[in-house]
Each structure stands twice: as structure tokens, then as C-alpha cells.
Chains A and B, each alone.
Chain A
Amino acid sequence: MPLVLETDYGTPASASTEAVGLTIDGTRVTVPAGTSIMRAAMAAGIQVPKLCATDSVDAFGSCRLCLVEIAGRAGTPASCTTPVAAGMVVSTQTERLKQVRKGVMELYISDHPLDCLTCAANGDCELQDMAGAVGLREVRYGYAGENHLAEAKDESNPYFTFDPAKCIVCSRCVRACEEVQGTFALTIQGRGFESKVSAGMAERFIESECVSCGACVQACPTATLMEKTVIETGLPEHSVVTTCAYCGVGCNFKAEMRGEEVVRMVPAKDGKANHGHSCVKGRFAWGYANHRERILKPMMRERIDQPWREVSWDEAIGRVASEFKRLQQTHGVRSIGGITSSRCTNEETYLVQKLVRGGFGNNNIDTCARVCHSPTGYGLKATFGASAGTQDFDSVEQADVVIVIGANPTDAHPVFASRLKKRLRQGARLIVIDPRRIDLVRTPHVEAAHHLALRPGTNAAILNALAHTIVTEGLVNEAFIRERCDLSAFAHWAAFVSEPQNSPEAVGPVAGVSPDEIRGAARLFATGGNGAIYYGLGVTEHSQGSTAVMAIANLAMVTGNIGRPGVGVNPLRGQNNVQGSCDMGSFPHEFSGYRHVSDDGVRATFEELWGRPLDAEPGLRIVNMFDAALDGSFKGLYVQGEDILQSDPNTHHVVAALAAMECVVVQDLFLNETSSYAHVFLPGATFLEKDGTFTNAERRINRVRRVMAPRNGMADWEVTLAIGKAMGFEMSYGHPAEVMDEIARLTPSFAGVSYDLLDRVGSVQWPCNAAAPVGTPVMHAEAFQRGKGNFMITEYVPTDEKVGPRFPLLLTTGRILTQYNVGAQTRRTANIVWHEEDVLEIHPHDAEERGVRDGDWVRLDSRTGATTLRARVTDRVAPGVVYTTFHHPVTQANVVTTDYSDWATNCPEYKVTAVQVAPSNGPSDWQREYGEHARRNLRIAGAPVE
């Protein structure tokens, strides 16, 4: 498609339902009350000249270019700050206005370099456009006077430059940082002629609080803030609208291209999850697609201690098929399996599970969602009847009280965090339940009403204590429960939470939280208006992960916070397609649409279409696969787009399991850690190279569109088809759209989904079917998916992972803004400048006791293993708790995490590990041995040694 040029209406839309009629330049216009004259004019196709106005931020009225005349009113008011009025008659082009605008432009240009021909924004500069629009032909003031043309350029940010010589001080960047991003990193420093945009306390961008979201660059009307890729490459000539492949927010982007080269990724204004905003990852960190370490040819080896050998696709696929067939003949049909990835598309994951169920003839298919949100699927299905969040992201705009539990949105879901912060600045109240003082607890113009800094592992206890307060203090929404919930289940549950062991006074000492704080939070949530709960892996990745999800659902039901905008239960999914990979039947016990494999009727529909008898028994989960590999009954594995060695817990155990298998096939972009135990490597394609769909955390099915051909020669879905064909299981599709057609045919909640629909309406949220032809923004509006809401009893059972004299501290893990998951993509971008290593956060008291200073190397020991990393001494963590990220393989944080897992789903308990910390002067034995092993894995026969 040609370059997508979005209409800038100058000021934000009004939400008013009252219509106002007026006349602009003789044209009759009707707009919502509260609309600016500028926006009303643009709606009528009349572009009022402007510089400081853009519709992503509130009107400012500083540039004085958008002046208009209004019949019966004196002067020339700014059209951006003047709201429409009934019967108003406006003129946007008069002799007086022309003279004023020309004079204003003349002053702007008198302090602006006239290097248009060599400027990076040439052809994409609003200042240039406005000079043309007002007919500027001369600048009478010359350049002899004082000006800013010699100001130094700030090139410190790896992705964009700041050139103050080109700045017109319109404040669009400052306002975008405040209003859109909510970071408040920019300001206008000085007064009058000395006014200038300043990052932080007059720092360089890289040293300021700037989070590199790109909102300022997008808002800038000149070349002052400019992407380095545009400076290097030139302006794009066409766009392709696609979806980001990082977190579960699912932002739409315009990939702006020159031929097959990406010039920049610009967030799409009509993206329904992001509304034109972005974060540093989606906006800038896509360079990994062209990283020199990317593997583009299939490779094989007989043994894992050998170098890789590049081979043809035919040879690699043939080896996979012959090995898998040999293993099944020798060890049984259930001796092999596959793992789908939440980074891949719905169509790709659907095909991998189809290959396993139909081609392998078993249900040994699992997904990396196993190790993150599988408890969400289980818990929400048990209580509500649907394994998904209840809302859309827009819902947060109507929330009055927000609980954020076990999630860190400003780092892991930044674009949603910006929307949440905006709502909080408007007056919504916030309750944070997290062991760590995440940024949301106190950030510019946002402060949590309550921070329950609980001890890791006590989520269920705290949630029960909140429910106890609500039930025993008479704050229950009885009408909602009478109408919408199973009354018998409610009665049992209400009796349970009312018991003394669930009171804040009993739970407080166990969880390390003041009972008063618990009671205060409960009262606020129950009485503060629309209550919304957002949660993440700090809830699910526990031995009671599913229990805690059910406790959250109970809390939403007991307060009646389900079924309308502004409320609900909202799991924040870590990766881009966690929801989709679960929807597509990646779990070993269920087909697409969450239907159990033992259901004869459901299974028959798949058998009929696929032409194969299917296994009626659940298959192995990832963690069960490892155990089965170690007992010798599981021998072969196909892993698409997932690095189980780095991301799964208890690395020693994973390594032993992988080493015990006879054929491990890895399909990925890079030689990841898992590949060091693989026998066949199949190169994968990036999201820029594929067609398909991702489903984000709000159940929104977004199109992913190919912007360039796969550099490895085959699309990922074609590779899966080739393996199937070689194994005698033919799957025939001409395009991923046909895969989606099959998904729709077999999956009731996707029955109405097609690429045609998505191309027409942009995106839809499932269920999308005859009852909801354009999707379902809010679920359970009239009744729960399961009929009546089901209160489950959520007894607190302490984890078996205990602290003691040898391991007195609790380790919990998480993510950081600039890195993503195992870091395979983001470590291969300039994002590395912000987070080049994982560090261990430790409280000053614990550090002092151990003689650890900030920046020291420390050894982190648990019952399962040890690693070393640098310490960061900080009171963000409570005494007794330490925290780290897991983005770097050199640290291998999962060497220390344990085998403990959620009782219902086997989701690992990453968030609670008993550890000890001590000063160290070198890597652990594991790090030394594994480093050497990983280095050997990079050998490719015949490739030059670097």
C-alpha cells in the first residue's frame, strides 16, 4: 500500500454526545460539543494552519498560526483552544489572518536553518508545509541577530537525535511525554528567547528519565527529534500496517518502508490497543531482523558436541521426519512431541499442534504459555467459563479503582501503563500488590493509595484477606451475586473467607503486610466505583497460581465488577501471542477453543476434517516432557520459536532432559541456548517476514502483514507443512488466510473471523461469530460464559519452597522495559545500552549483613544451582527479598529456580526461590562450564571464525 498519511485533526476528539452545528468558511458542520474549531474545520476538510497543535495532545495555543475570525467576536482567537458553539460563523482565511500568519511564520523561520534540501525531514516537515501554506516568500530579519542555529545536537539516544537548532519550542514533545507517555521527562527550560526543550535536568537524552517511547519524535513537527534510521536512509515511500511482536498489548504499527528495507516503525493511530502510542521495543528495537548472528540456512549434526553443518531444506526436513519416525517405531507413538511459541502467529501455532495431533498421532503438544499464563486459562475457565481476560484496554478509561497485582506494566506492558497512568492522573485510585516497589507505586503525578508489599508466595492469602474484609464488613454486591452467580457456591465461599484464618489480622503477619492496609485496600476496591483488576506473572507463576487467579475472579464477582466497561479481570500477557497460542489448541489436553480432547463429539469434527484418528488422552506438558525424557520414554522434540533452556526453571534439569533426547529440532532466528542441545536447526522468520495474526491480552485478533520476503527462504508455516508432508501427514494451504479459515470452521469462538473481516474492520476480539459478528469487547455482559459465576474456595497453602538458615532470602524474578523475555531479540538491538546485564536487587540491610556493596559481584545460590551477577543495593525490594531479571544467558537466572509448580497446570514457581547471596569474585562452576558449551555450539563447519 502507498505511504499511509494519517489525518491530524489538531486536537483530541470530544466524547460528548451532544451535537453542535456551526458554519466554517461557508460550510455547515455538525460536531460533538466541546470540539475545537480546528478539529471541526478538519472534519469538514478545511485545514487551518497550525504548528503547536496535534490531535494526540491537548490544545496549547502557543504558535498563533491557527488564528481564525468569528462573526460577532473581537480579535483573532486560536482555533485549537476555542470550542465550537451553536450557530457560530467562522472564517479561517481572511486578509487579516493571512498577514498575521505570514508574520508569525517569518519570525519562526528567522531562527531556523534554511537547509531544507539536506534536512532529514525534507518532505515530512510541518514547518516547511506551513511556510508554503501561508505563502512565505521572504524573511526580512536576516540571521545577523541572536539565534539558536549553533546549538549542539544531542545524538546520545541510540535511536533518535535532538537538534535544538531546528526546534521551534512548540512544546509538542513535552506534552506528548506528559500526556501520552506519562513520564514527564521533558520540559521547557528558561523563559522568552532562552526557552528550550530540555530532557531531565538539562541532561542528554540518554542520561535523562526518557524511556525512548518515541512519542516526542512522533509529535515533533520539524527535524528536531528525528529517527536515526530516517537520517541514514531517507524518507519511506510505502507503508504496511502490522502488529508488534513484543508484549501482549498488541500495538499496531505502520512499517514505513523503502522497497524491502524498513525505514521506521510508527505506531498506528487507529490501532485499537495502542491508539498511536508505542514503547522503545516496538518503536525502535526491530533491528535484530538483520543482525549478523541470524541463521538463514538449515543445519544438522549427528551429535551435540559436533559443529553444525549447513544443509538444504530437503535434507533437514528429511532428517527430522526419518528420526521422528524411527523414534516412534522404537519407543512408541507417544515418544515425541512439539512445543509452540507465543511469539509465533495463530496460524503457525495452530499448524504445529495439528502436526503433533494429526501427524505424530499424540497430544504431546504444549506451549511456552505453560510457563506463564496457564493458570489464567484454568482459573478463569473454572470461575467464569472462558480462559481469557474480560475487557478491552479502552476499559481502563472508565475504571475508578485499579488493582495491579503481580504485574509491572511500566516495564512489561508500557503502552497499557501509559493509558493506566493517564486514568490515574484523572483521579482513579490505585492499589498495588507486589513484593517490590514497582514504578507505579510512586511516579510523576501518580501515587498508589495502597501498596501491599507482600512476601513472595502469599498472593492467595492476601486475596482471601481482601475478600474477608468485603464479606464480613457487609460490602458485598448482593444484587449482582443474586442475579449472576451460583448461590450455593457463593454461600460456601463466603463462609470460607469469613473464617478467622483469612482475616487481615491473621494474614498480615504471614504476608508481611499491615492488616489496616489490607482492610483499607479492600474497602476502597469494594466502594470506590468501577473496580478493575490487572495481573501478571507475579500471580500465575506460583505453586498456587491457579488458586490466586480464582481468588481474583472471586474478588471481581463479590464486588460486582464484571460485565461492563471500567471493571473486570485483566491478565496482562507477557508475550505477543500468549492468548492466541492458548486459543489455538496448544495445550496438550484441549483443541482450539479450549475443548477437551476426550470429548468424542469435538474430536470427531477434527478427525473428519484432518482425516486422521486422534488421541483421546491428554498429552505431556513441557515439564512432564522433561521428566519423561529423563526416564527414557520421551525421545524427540520439535520446538518452534521458544528457548526452553533459558526460560524454563531449574536449568540443570532442562539440560539433562534435552541431553537425554535423541532428536531435538529447534526452529528459531538465532542459535539460542536450547539449540546447544539440538540435532537439527531450522531457521525461522521474523514477524516482518510473515503473514498471520496475533491475539493480544484483550482477545484482540490483529493482522500481521509481511513487509519483506523471509530471509531464510521459507515462511515458518511452510516449514511445519514440510515436516508433516515428510512424515506422511499432508496439510495443504496456499496462504495463512486459508489456515484461519480452517480455524474458524473448527472453533466456535472464531467462527466469524477471516482475513477479509480483519482487513475491513482492522481487528476483532473473540468471541467473533454469528452472535457477535464484529467481536466482543467486554465478556460476560449479560451472563457468564459458563452460565452462573462460580465462586471457588481458595485456601492458602504455603509453598514447599521454604527459607531456612542456608537459604534465608526469597528470590523473585521479573522483566525490564528495554529487554524482552530471554532477550534473543532485544539483546541484538541497541536496547543493550540500557540493560547490558541482569543485576540482583538487594535491600541495604541484607547487603550490609553480607558485606555487599552496590555494583559488587555476588554469588546467588539456591538448592538447585548457583550463578553470579552484580548487586544493586536498593530499597525497592523489602528486607528478605531479592530480585533479578532473566534476559541474559550469561546469568541464567533459571539455574537457581526450582521444579515447584502450580498444582493445576504445572506452571513453574519462578517467583519464589529460597536463596543465599554472598560476595563473589568470579563466575560459578555452572557458568564456566555452560559458557564453554554454548561457545562450542556456535561452531558452523566451513564458516569463518570471528
Chain B
Amino acid sequence: MEAAKLVMMANQIGKFFAAQRGADPVAAIANHLDKFWEPRMRAEIAAHLAAGGAGLDGPVRAAVGRLKEARPPGMGV
């Protein structure tokens, strides 16, 4: 997937959680990405970060660094 689009989407998410008060925005952003982004999207944004993370806002950059490793399909049990 297009890295620029993922960066834009991640930064949008970051803006919302960065505005919340009394909560850790980095944890909230990472949680949102883990809960709603399909594994290949998470893998690609993580790869983008590993390649320098151009364009990622500060808290988003930190959140992407914390993303969980995806479990393989059909291996839920």
C-alpha cells in the first residue's frame, strides 16, 4: 500500500488522540492501529518507520514503534 496514504491516515489518528487529555496519546494511537489496521497495513507503516518514518508526526512515530506483531490467520486458538 502507498506509504504516503498510510502516513496521512496515521497522522489523522494521531491528531485525535493527541488532543485527548488525561490519557497517554502514544498508547491510544498504538491501540487504535492494532485494533483497526489489518496486519499488512501495520507491517507497512512499521517498515516505513524503519526506513526513517518520513512524514510521521511525533506521537504517531512513537506509537508505530510499539505496534504488536500480528498473529497469523487461522491460528487464533
Contacts and interface: CB of A to CB of B under 8 A. Distances in A.
Contact of A589 (B8, B35, B73, B74): B35
A363 B70 CA distance: 13
A603 interface: yes
A547 interface: yes
Contacts of A607: 76-77
A122 B9 CA distance: 64
Interface stretch (A62-70, A507-515, A616-624): A616-624
Contacts of B21: 492, 495-496, 793
B17 to A, nearest CB: 10
Contacts of A614: 74, 76-77
Contact of A904 (B13, B70, B74): B13
B73 A793 contact: no
A20 interface: no
A5 B67 CA distance: 62
B73 A362 contact: yes
Interface in A588-643: 588-589, 596-598, 600, 603-604, 607, 612-621, 624, 627-628, 630-631, 633
B75 to A, nearest CB: 6
A488 interface: yes
A169 B40 CA distance: 69
Contact of B36 (A362, A589, A627, A899): A589
B42 to A, nearest CB: 9
A44 B32 CA distance: 62
A600 B71 CA distance: 12
A313 to B, nearest CB: 28
A334 B32 contact: no
A617 B71 CA distance: 7
Contacts of B73: 333-334, 361-362, 615, 617
Contacts of A618: 35-38
Contacts of A795: 15-16, 19
Contact of B75 (A589, A613, A631): A613
Interface residues of A, number: 50
Contacts of A631: 1-2
A242 to B, nearest CB: 36
Contact of B77 (A604, A617, A621, A903): A604
A867 interface: no
Interface in B1-40: 1-2, 5, 8-9, 12-13, 15-16, 19-22, 32, 34-40
Contacts of B41: 620, 624
A627 B1 contact: yes
Contacts of A903: 9, 12-13, 15-16
A19 B66 CA distance: 68
A627 B2 contact: yes
Contact of B16 (A619, A633, A904): A904
A833 interface: no
A92 interface: no
A906 interface: yes
A488 B21 CA distance: 10
B38 A624 contact: yes
A111 to B, nearest CB: 69
B38 A620 contact: yes
B12 A603 contact: no
A547 B37 CA distance: 19
A803 B65 CA distance: 35
A858 to B, nearest CB: 31
Interface string B36-68: 111111000000000000000000000000000
Given A627-B2, A792-B20, A793-B20, A617 B36 contact: no
Contacts of B2: 627, 631
A364 B12 CA distance: 23
A588 B13 contact: no
A781 interface: no
A547 B16 contact: yes
A619 B38 contact: yes
A492 B19 CA distance: 11
A675 interface: no
A59 to B, nearest CB: 55
Interface string A542-555: 01001100000000
Given A624-B41, A795-B19, A596 B35 contact: yes
Contact of A628 (B1, B12, B36, B76): B1
Interface in A459-498: 488-489, 492, 495-496
A46 interface: no
Contacts of B1: 624, 627-628, 630-631
A613 B22 contact: no
B59 to A, nearest CB: 14
A901 B38 CA distance: 17
Contacts of B71: 615-617
B74 A906 contact: no
Nearest to B39: A617
Contacts of A624: 1, 38, 41
Nearest to A598: B35
Nearest to A378: B36
A116 interface: no
Nearest to A364: B38
B19 A361 contact: no
A899 B5 contact: yes
A107 interface: no
A613 B76 contact: yes
Contacts of B20: 492, 792-793
A797 B22 contact: no
Contact of A617 (B5, B13, B16, B70): B70
B15 A361 contact: no
A936 B74 CA distance: 40
A488 B22 contact: yes
B22 A492 contact: yes
A375 to B, nearest CB: 12
Contacts of B36: 589, 618, 904-905
Contacts of B38: 334, 363-364, 588, 617-621, 624, 628
Nearest to B77: A613
A628 B21 CA distance: 35
Contacts of B22: 488-489, 492
A44 B47 CA distance: 77
Contact of B76 (A495, A603, A619): A603
A906 B9 contact: yes
Interface string A830-860: 0000000000000000000000000000000
Given A361-B74, A598-B34, A797-B12, 15 more contacts: A334-B73, A588-B38, A612-B74, A613-B74, A613-B76, A614-B77, A616-B71, A617-B39, A618-B38, A624-B38, A624-B41, A630-B1, A633-B40, A795-B15, A903-B12
Interface of B: 1-2, 5, 8-9, 12-13, 15-16, 19-22, 32, 34-41, 70-71, 73-77
A-B pairs, top 9 by smallest CB distance, nearest first, are A903-B12, A795-B19, A492-B21, A616-B76, A333-B73, A361-B74, A615-B73, A627-B1, A613-B77
16 contacts: A333-B73, A361-B74, A489-B22, A495-B21, A496-B21, A598-B35, A600-B76, A603-B77, A612-B74, A613-B76, A616-B71, A624-B1, A793-B20, A899-B5, A901-B9, A904-B36
